[in-house]
Chain A
Amino acid sequence: MRFYQVSLDDPSFPSLYPKGEIVTNLLYWLIPERLIPRDADKIPTYPLVRLSDIPSNEISFPLLNEKFQVNDKLRNVLYGRRLLVDEITAHVSLDVIHEHVCHGVIHYQPAITRNPKLTCRRCGNDDPFLFGDISCARCKKMCAYCRACLMMGRVAECSPLLTWNEKEKAKEKRHTLGWKGQLSPAQSKASQALVNHVTTRYKTEKNFLIWAVCGAGKTEMLFAAIQLALTKGGPVLVATPRTDVVLELLPRMTEAFPHTVVRAFHGGVPKEERFEQGELVIATTHQLLRFYRHFPLVIIDEVDAFPYSYDKKLQYAVKNARAKESLTVYVTATPPDNLKRKAASGKIAYVKVLRRYHGHDLPVPKQTWIGNWKKKLLKGNLPNPVIEWLRGHIANQKQVFLFVPQISLMEKIEEAVRIACETVNVETVHAADPSRREKVIRFREGETNVLVTTTILERGVTVKGVQVGILGAEDRIFTESALVQISGRVGRSPDRPSGDVVFFHYGKTKAMGQAIRHIEMMNKDR
């Protein structure tokens, strides 16, 4: 969109900006082109510009007018966020937004910069392939747009990003912890370490790593620190890579903090609820892009679940979502190498939790060679070791996760399992499966015996007494951290602390060996 640069003392649009003294270095008013009716008698002769065309040292805004009565609806949407005009005009009209700009409550930023290189300010994308270029109907010019964050509403070169400039006075509110469980010694050690970090006032952006094995009870370790941060008056963000994990965390957090406004944001949240305010926010990483300098405490669950290439995007999103003075906590069972290195060299504070909360060892995976299983599968058969393993567990009334490397093989495998083990309920899930949630629920309730899945269920999903097999563990998709995570699905509940993890493979890989050594090391290292 374009703006008229109207000089400060022009009397022709009295309704479009406040009169009186403005104590600021403001050079001109920016009036959205759309606010001036086409057939107005006085179409301004002022220059019509895009925000991105104004040199950044010339962009200035009026000082915040403390007496100005802000629009509550607008505040609710924009407070703590950085949004596109289109995301806001669904709630309030453009002239209300403009009024707030005139009183210094809302600031604009250009959404795309070309200096030093073409970059999307919202998502940090600077890959030239992921930019498009069109002759834009809004700015009547060639206008670049970001293709990387398109699914969150299009960011174009001429679109302004809006931020809320008003600081909230810290509210005194009591946040009670509804969770009445007992932490294990290892858990409480980590919990205490984290609380200590939250207590010390953070003057800059600080980081903290919690390295905890699968099934260590990570969420419970966080409760004390979250409660403390909430009481200090700041909103808390829990970010995770997957929608499944958001959905799993939401009820647990709501139960743990009964007097706190807990909100979950993920791609599936309906439009009306997408911009609500929460004190404790659980969000997928994409949704982080909508927040701006808001959270003094950010907890990133399962950092390693992001593919390596994603790391930069996550860092960018977190950098923007957290407050200037903030603590970022990384929680993971398998820290990526760069975090491990930082922890070892003392650049980042960390705490290790190497015991599961019930104190038992992690089950160590077994490896079984099954030959060319894909060839066998084409004829509709499963390798014998797999059949025997499945039959054994089904006979013992145990449920089984069967991880497979490719979606395209799932149907064949499902069929083969059904033939091999009669009277068995088999289902398959993968990322694009529309009924994925229901299938996981059915499995959790014990209606399904065998769930054939891709790596989407490798983390965050807890099912009591489940056994795990990986068919084709030699595939590239099963990296060390994926294998460790998958193995961590087993033996999580205290009454069934042991279980079976088998890598069915056609040739051992380095990752398999590393995963087993990783688990053994965790068991030894107390």
Chain B
Amino acid sequence: MSKWSDTLSETSRCLYCDRSFMEEVNWTWALGLPEEKVLCPDCEGKLVNINEVGCEMCGRQVEKADHDFVDASVKLPATFVKEPVTLCRDCAKWKEAEKGEDRSVQQRSLYVYNDFLQEVMAQYKYRGDATLATLFSKKLKRLTRPLGKIDVVTVVPLSEERLWERGFNQAELLAGEFACCDVLQRRGETAKQSKRDRRERIAALQGAFRLSVEGEKWHWAGKRVLIIDDIYTTGATLRSASTVLYEAGAEKVFAVTVARATGALKNNG
């Protein structure tokens, strides 16, 4: 039996758990602007948006008071800002190490890297469910809106071995909504970041990247660059990649990622 109300709501299948669900009808439908829902309400509900950050640079979210990285009383909107002022301990340390040279990367993430998102990312990256990129690609685009003009969009590259293993670059698919250029390239082999601790990560990535053949051709002076990646943990990958760009003459480097890990979740790749 078909009811008139059936025409209002269609059943869709959740891209993650494959269960059927009914799309909720709200005013966007009446206006003809419905956003296509790809996750069922259950899965959608397990994704935690980052709405407030404690550090304007790395976009670290406000955690419980026992965490000593960020002053827990600071709550700032999670959008990109013109001049990052409030910094977390990590970013302050980095700034000190730069000795006046501006090598900063303002970074924002979509979601908190919780257990659920860890599972989703594992299915995406390691099991190779590339279609899941569509969950995030539009949202990443929206996240970069406040940045204004961006000259170059690029992604963190994979080594050839890893690219063969996975069959795709997970960051490149996330950047599907951008016109993305491969201006970076990896130098030699590096082990998986997710298998390392913080110190090892940073050490391993010193000089891990260089400009690719295409990147060499570019005129970098004054360029505003956006890097897209999947997960931000210590920021070592992004720092290493952005150093190359700054050295080439880029004016400013920004980054967006899907997930922001804070060390609260044990990282076991």
Contacts and interface: CB of A to CB of B under 8 A. Distances in A.
B13 interface: yes
A132 B129 contact: yes
A151 to B, nearest CB: 6
Given A135-B168, A136-B167, A145 B128 contact: yes
B176 to A, nearest CB: 10
Interface string A10-45: 000000000000000000000000100000000000
A269 interface: no
Given A130-B18, A137-B169, A150-B123, A145 B164 contact: no
A132 B134 CA distance: 11
A145 B127 contact: no
B163 A154 contact: no
B18 A137 contact: no
Given A134-B167, A137-B167, 11 more contacts: A129-B13, A129-B18, A134-B173, A135-B168, A137-B164, A137-B168, A137-B169, A145-B167, A150-B123, A151-B127, A156-B167
Contacts of B202: none
14 contacts: A34-B164, A132-B129, A133-B131, A134-B130, A134-B167, A137-B164, A137-B169, A138-B164, A138-B167, A143-B167, A150-B129, A154-B128, A154-B167, A156-B167
B75 interface: no
Contacts of A151: 127
A147 interface: yes
Interface residues of A, number: 18
B166 interface: yes
Interface of B: 13, 18, 123, 127-131, 163-169, 173
Contacts of B166: 137
Nearest to A1: B164
Contacts, number: 41
Residue among B123, B163, B167 facing the most chain A CB atoms (10 A cut-off): B167
A119 B168 CA distance: 22
A12 B196 CA distance: 44
Contacts of B165: 86
A154 B164 CA distance: 13
Interface in A499-525: none
Contacts of B168: 134-137
A241 B18 CA distance: 20
Contacts of B18: 129-130
A129 B16 CA distance: 11
Contacts of B123: 150
B127 A132 contact: no
A133 B130 CA distance: 8
A299 to B, nearest CB: 29
Contacts of B130: 132, 134, 145
B223 to A, nearest CB: 26
B13 A147 contact: no
A135 B167 CA distance: 9
Q: Which 4 A-B pairs have the closest CB atoms?
A: A132-B131, A154-B128, A134-B130, A137-B163
Residue among A130, A137, A143, A154 facing the most chain B CB atoms (10 A cut-off): A137
B156 to A, nearest CB: 15
A136 B172 CA distance: 12
Interface string A119-159: 00000000001101111111000010101001100101000
Nearest to B160: A137
A137 B131 CA distance: 15
B167 A150 contact: no
Given A129-B13, A134-B167, A154 B127 contact: yes
Nearest to A158: B167
Nearest to B123: A150
Contacts of A86: 165
